[in-house]
Amino acid sequence: MSEESTPQSEQPGEWRRRSRSFGEVAETYDAARLAYPDQLVDDILVFADLRGAPALEVGAGTGKAALAFAARGVPLTCIEPDPRMAELLKRKCAGAPVTVVAEEFETWQPDRRYGLLYSAQAWHWIAPELRWARAGEALERGGTIALFWTDWHVKDTALRAELTAAHERQHFAQRFPDEFVCSRTDGPDSWVRQELAAEDGFVDVEERTYTSAHEHSTGGFVDLLSSHSAYRIMPPGTREALFAEVTSLVDAQGGRVGLGATTRLFLARTGG
C-alpha cells in the first residue's frame, strides 16, 4: 500500500480536500504511521554532506522524519501547512533544533538557502507546476534534494485476500491493497524519475530502495488505514462499517498483522 494519489490524477478541489484530511487524525497518524529506516536517514546525510548547513523539510506532518534528522544534530526548518499537524510537530520537537513553519511551501518565502531539502511521503502534495522551481530557490548551489515514500503490504496472502473482499463488499473505490499504489514512485513510469530527468537544475540523480518489516495490533492496523486520506474522505458510515469488518478479520487471525514495507528514495543535487 502506498501513500496517496498524485495531484495530476484528481480534480483540484478533491486533491486539496485529501491533502488537508490528515489533521483530523493527527495523533492517530503520528502513532500509526511506519517509521523510516535509519539507514535511509544516514545515506541522505552522507550524500548531502551538510557540514553544519541546515536542512528543510517540506510537508513535515507530525515529525516522523524530522525527529530522526534532528537526533543526528541537523538543524531543521519544517514546513507543514496543516495547523493541527504543525502544533503536534512543535510539541514533539520541543528542545530539538527544529523550527516549525505552518505555511504552504508554494507561497513560503525562505530567508536563507539550505544544504538539504527533503520530503517524506509528501512531495506529491506540492503543486506540480511549482515544486521543482521552489526547491531550487530554497537550496544552495550543490544542495541536495531527497524525496522518499514507503509502500506497504499485508504479508499474509490469505488475510490480504480477505481484506480485499471486505473492501469490495463496502464498495470502496480502490481495492485493498493491489490498486492502492497511487504515488507511482516505482517502475520505469515513475513520475518522480520523469520529472527529475526533465529538470535542468538537478544533477547526480540516484535512487535507492530499503525494505523493512513491521507488526501491528488490530487497533494499530485500523489506525494505520485511518491515517490515509482515501479512508478519511469516505462517508463516515461506510468507513465505520469497513473498519468493523477489518477488525473482525484481523481478530480472527490472532489480532496481529505483519507488514512488509518498501521505502524508495530519490536523491539529486542542484547544478551550477
Task: Give tens-digit pLDDT for 13-27.
Answer: 555 555 555 656 688
Query: Mapping DSSP to helix (H, G, I), strand (E, B) and coil, where does residue 72 land?
Result: coil
Phi, psi of 134 (to 5 degrees): -65, -35
Position 3 pLDDT exceeds 50: no
Q: Which of the four pLDDT bands, split at 50, 70 and 90, describes residue 227? A: confident
Model confidence pLDDT, tens digit, residues 76-116: 999 999 999 999 999 999 999 999 999 999 999 999 999 99
The CATH homologous superfamily to which domain 7-151+183-213+261-270 belongs is Vaccinia Virus protein VP39 (3.40.50.150)
Q: Which of the four pLDDT bands, split at 50, 70 and 90, describes residue 221? A: very high
pLDDT for position 97: 94
Position 130 pLDDT exceeds 50: yes
Strand partners, 260: 153, 213
Alpha carbon of residue 73 to chain centroid: 22
Mean pLDDT computed over every residue of the chain: 87
Report helix angle 236-252 to 157-169, nearest 10: 150
More confident residue, 197 or 165: 165
Model confidence pLDDT, tens digit, residues 168-211: 888 876 666 554 444 557 766 788 988 988 888 899 999 999 99
Helices (H) and strands (E) in the chain, counts: 11, 7
Position 54 pLDDT exceeds 80: yes
Position 8 pLDDT exceeds 60: no
Composition of the chain by helix, strand, coil, percent to 5: 40, 25, 35
How confident is the model over 218-241, as a mean pLDDT?
89
Grid cell at residue 4: 496517496
pLDDT for position 129: 92
Tell me the one-letter amino acid at 209.
T
Which whole-number Å values give the CA distances from 217 to 34, 224, 251, 254, 259, in the listed order? Answer: 13, 10, 9, 9, 11
Q: How many CB atoms lie within 10 A of CB 13?
A: 8
Strands (DSSP E) contained in the chain are: 55-58, 76-79, 98-101, 114-120, 139-154, 202-217, 256-270
Position 230 pLDDT exceeds 50: yes
pLDDT for position 179: 43
Helix spans in 58-172 (H) = 66-70, 83-92, 131-138, 157-169
What is the C-alpha separation between 85 and 202, in angstroms, rounded?
A: 30
Phi, psi of 271 (to 5 degrees): -85, -170
In percent, the amount of the chain with pLDDT more than 90 equals: 67
